[in-house]
Chains A and B, each alone.
Chain A
């Protein structure tokens, strides 16, 4: 079955440093979504990418979908303590199929 892998599993940064998490799928994806889960919280939808090579920005967050639609990345510029949490990618193999979540990258930001 489809597998979605994320690296790194953990990332500790100093406030102000950049952060990137990578997501790789074993199969070509129809679309990919990113979620953020704060400590003690629940996943909150951030964005969905659909097109090959698509890049979307949300303030300091940049999301990219690979040309082959098998990988994606989330980059945060100049991290802040409010960025702390676990970032999950979730891919859909075909339109209408289930979302398969990656294991997540847990980000810690030291002030």
Chain B
């Protein structure tokens, strides 16, 4: 399944590093999402973009900065992260926000040391 791709698949970074996660969808969708998945916690919605416009920021700390240059690409810029930010970061897309099923990418496993 290659509809939604994410790179890198694994990332280890120090607390002072700056890195970016990339997501690309090949499904012609107009909505894209960032989720955080931590052990023993529900999927946490972070950001929503609809037609390149951010429509939701779920009280995410400013050390996470999203960017959506077009409907097919979504980035998550990371800086000065904390160890508790270690998690699986999942990108998803849907036709539009609000009613459709979401297609998830394989995720980036992030470890903050």
Contacts and interface: CB of A to CB of B under 8 A. Distances in A.
B101 A45 contact: yes
Contacts, number: 47
B49 interface: no
B41 A97 contact: no
Interface in B1-57: 1, 40-43, 45, 48, 56
Contact of B98 (A41, A42, A48, A95): A95
Nearest to A103: B42
A31 to B, nearest CB: 7
Interface string A82-111: 000000101010011111111110000000
Interface size range on A against B: 20 to 34
Given A42-B107, A43-B90, A96-B97, A101 B42 contact: yes
A28 B109 CA distance: 34
A64 interface: no
Given A4-B42, A98-B48, A41 B106 contact: yes
Given A42-B90, A42-B107, A98 B45 contact: yes
Nearest to A104: B42
B8 to A, nearest CB: 15
Nearest to A101: B43
Given A41-B106, A42-B104, A99-B45, 5 more contacts: A45-B103, A90-B43, A92-B98, A97-B98, A98-B45
Contacts of B45: 98-100
B99 A96 contact: yes
B56 A44 contact: no
Contacts of A42: 90, 104-107
Contacts of A100: 42, 45
Among B48, B90, B104, B106, chain A packs the most CB atoms within 10 A around the CB of: B104
Interface string A28-46: 0001010100000111110
B98 A96 contact: yes
